[in-house]
Amino acid sequence: MARWIRVAAAVVGLLFSALLAECEVRHYKFNVELRNTTRMCSTKPIVTVNGEFPGPTIVAREDDTLLVKVVNHVKYNVSIHWATVHGAIVILPKLGVPYPFPKPDGEKVIVLGEWWKSDVEAVINEAMKSGLAPNVSDAHTINGHPGPTAGCPSERGFNLLVEPGKKYMLRIINAALNDELFYKIARHHLTVVEVDAAYVKPFTTDTILVAPGQTTNAILSADKPAGNYLVTVSPFMDSPIAVDNLTATALIRYSTSLSTVSTTLTAAPPQNATPIANKFTNSLRSLNSRDYPARVPATIDHSLLFTVGLGVNPCPTCINGSRVVADFNNVTFVLPKIALLQAHYFNIGGVFSDDFPGNPPIWYNFTGVQPVNLRTTTGTRVYRLPYNSTVELVMQDTGMLGPENHPIHLHGFNFFAVGRGLGNYNPNEDPKKFNLIDPVERNTIGVPSGGWTAIRFRADNPGVWFLHCHLEVHTTWGLKMAFLVDNGNGPNESLLPPPSDLPKC
C-alpha cells in the first residue's frame, strides 16, 4: 500500500516570485516495516519507519512543501500522524529570518517515549477485554534508549557529545503515550525559548516539564568542566494513578573529557513534584513583540465550559460487565465509520450531529463529592463554529473516579492559555485574573488535577478539528470531541477539496 501525504506550511504575505525563490519541495519515503529490536535485555519485533527507532527526522523550512511516500510492509493498518510516527519534523525559519535569540552552535532532537517488553497489540487487546487501563510501560526512553536498569545494567543509554563553550538547542518532544515527563541535566541549566512551535520569553530552569504531544526547545550551554553529566527523564503524576515510575537516563559527554572520567549525577524530581511543575508552567509567556505579536482575542463570541472526567459504562463483552470511559461534558465520543471531514465536505448525513453541549448538562461541585451515577452519554457530536468567530474554552477537571492531569490537544489551531487554577472555575472572579497581554501560545495544554485551564482562539481554519486528551488511554476511552468550523467568504476562507485519489473510509 502506498500513499502520498502532502504537508504544506501556511503561506504568509510574501510576493509570489519571492516565494518560489525561497521554497522547496522536499521528498521523503517511509517504509513501515517490522524490525527486531532489543531493549532491556529483551528482543521483540516492533513497527518501525525505515527500520529506525525512533523514526527518521524530517527537516524543512517554513513554507516548504513535503511529499512523503508511505509504503506499508506490515500486517497492521497504518495511519500516519506526525505526533505518533515516533520521529520528528523540524521546521526551520525561512531563509534570512533569524531566531529571536542568539543562534545556537548546534541543534539536537530529543524524543522521549515509553517501552513495553510485551507486544503492545497484546497489551491493548487485554485492556479492551478487561475494560480497564492497559498495563503501564516497563521503561521510559530517551531517543529510543532507557539507559541501564536494575534488570539490565548493561543497557546502553543515549549519549550527546558537546564541545566546551558551545551552545546547543535541544528540541525536546514527548512522544510517550501516557506520561507527563520531567527532563533534567546534572549541574546544567536550560534556557527555554520555544514551546509547541511558538517562541516564548526566554527563562532559565534546571527542570523541564513536557506532556505527551508537547514540544519544548531549550538552549544548553556547555559551560561546565569537561566530563560526563547524567540526564534524567522521569514521570510527573500528583494523583494516586499508576504510572511507569522508572527513570530513563542518558549522558551529556564533553568532547575533551577523558574516557576514565566519572559521571556527575543528579536526582530526578519526586513523582508528585507539583511545585516544580507549576513553576515551569507559570514561567511560560509569549514574546508579544513587534515581529511575534500575541493576538489574543479580546472579545468572545462563544464562551464554553467543558468538564473533563472519567466514567463507567456497561460493556457486555468485558470481564466485569463494564468498562472505564472518559468524556467532555459527560459525552463519550464514538468513532464514526466515515471520516468526519469527509462527511462534512460531501454532506453525508447520519455520521455526526452538531449538538455538542457548550456547557455541562449537570452542574455540581466538580472537584468535591461526585454524583453516584458514573454513566456517560455516548455519541459522535461536534460543536459548530462560524468562520472567524472567537472562542473562550474553560476545561474543568472533575473528581469522577479521581482527579488527574489531562494534556489537552487541539488540532488545526494554536490557542492562548489565558488562565488556570485549582478547584472549581468561578466565572465571576477568575476572568479578572486572566493574562490577556502575553499568555503562552500552544496547541497542547495541561488541565491540572482538581483544577481548570482557560484558552482562547480564533476559528479561522475551516474544517473539522479534534480536541482530545493526549493521554492515549483517555482518548481511547472517548475523551475527545470535534469543532466544525464553517466556510467563510470566498475560496481563501473555504475548505479545500480533497485530492482526487484520496482513499475513502
How far is residue 108's CA from residue 160's CA, in Å, rounded to a whole number? 9
| Closest listed residue to residue 294, CA positions, set 199, 377, 212 | 199
Residues 6+ apart with CB under 8 A from 89: 7, 57, 58, 59, 60, 82
Using left for φ > 0, alpha for ψ between -120 and 50, and beta otherwise, residue 325 falls in beta
- Kindly give the pairing relationship between strand 406-410 and strand 480-485: unpaired
> Would the pLDDT of 15 be above 70?
no
Mean pLDDT for the stretch of residues 361-367: 92
187-244 pLDDT per residue, tens = 999 999 999 999 999 999 999 999 999 999 999 999 999 999 999 999 999 988 888 9
| Closest listed residue to residue 12, CA positions, set 23, 24, 2, 4 | 23
Residue spans in the chain of domains classed CATH 2.60.40.420 = 98-284, 302-493
pLDDT for 4 equals 38
29 residue type, one letter: K
- Kindly give the pairing relationship between strand 406-410 and strand 444-447: antiparallel
Which of 20-24, 142-146, 443-447 is predicted least confidently? 20-24
How far is residue 250's CA from residue 229's CA, in Å, rounded to a whole number? 8
How many of the other CB atoms lie within 10 Å of CB of 268?
Answer: 20
Which of 50-64, 352-366, 485-499 is predicted least confidently? 50-64
Cross-strand bridge partners of residue 383 = 483
Report the CATH architecture of 98-284: Sandwich (2.60)
403 residue type, one letter: P
380-434 pLDDT per residue, tens = 999 999 999 999 999 999 987 778 899 999 999 999 999 999 999 999 999 999 9
pLDDT for 81 equals 65
How many of the other CB atoms lie within 10 Å of CB of 80?
Answer: 15
Using left for φ > 0, alpha for ψ between -120 and 50, and beta otherwise, residue 478 falls in left
Q: Are 398 and 367 in contact (CB under 8 A)?
A: yes
SS (H, E, C) 463-500: EEEEEEECCHHHHHCCCEEEEEECCCCCHHHCCCCCCC
- Kindly give the pairing relationship between strand 451-459 and strand 389-397: antiparallel
112 residue type, one letter: L
| Closest listed residue to residue 298, CA positions, set 412, 443, 456 | 456
63-114 pLDDT per residue, tens = 888 889 999 999 888 777 654 445 678 888 888 899 999 999 999 999 999 9
How many of the other CB atoms lie within 10 Å of CB of 415?
Answer: 25
pLDDT for 326 equals 96
pLDDT for 79 equals 75
Using left for φ > 0, alpha for ψ between -120 and 50, and beta otherwise, residue 124 falls in alpha
pLDDT for 87 equals 62
Taking CA atoms, 422 is separated from 308, 346, 447, 449, 452, in Å, by 14, 43, 10, 8, 6
Residue 275, phi then psi, degrees to nearest 5: -60, -40
* C-alpha dihedral (56, 105, 211, 249), degrees to nearest 10: 80
| Closest listed residue to residue 132, CA positions, set 300, 298, 323 | 323
More confident call, 302 vs 244: 302
CATH 2.60.40.420 fits 302-493, yes or no: yes
- Kindly give the pairing relationship between strand 441-442 and strand 415-422: antiparallel
Query: In 242-281, at which residue ranges do the beta strands (DSSP E only) sit?
Result: 248-254, 263-264
| Residue entry with cell 510485551 | 118
Q: Is 285 exposed, middle or buried (0-12, 13-18, 19+ CB in 10 A)?
A: middle
Query: In 85-213, at which residue ranges do the beta strands (DSSP E only) sit?
Result: 88-92, 106-115, 139-142, 159-162, 167-174, 180-185, 190-195, 198-205, 207-210
Q: What is the CA radius of gyration of the chain?
A: 23
| Closest listed residue to residue 50, CA positions, set 21, 67, 73, 27 | 73
Q: Are 178 and 243 in contact (CB under 8 A)?
A: yes
The 8-class DSSP code of residue 88 comes to E
| Closest listed residue to residue 479, CA positions, set 302, 307, 332 | 332
DSSP helix/strand/coil, 194: strand
pLDDT band at 22 (very low <50, low <70, confident <90, very high): low
| Closest listed residue to residue 414, CA positions, set 174, 196, 199 | 196
8 residue type, one letter: A
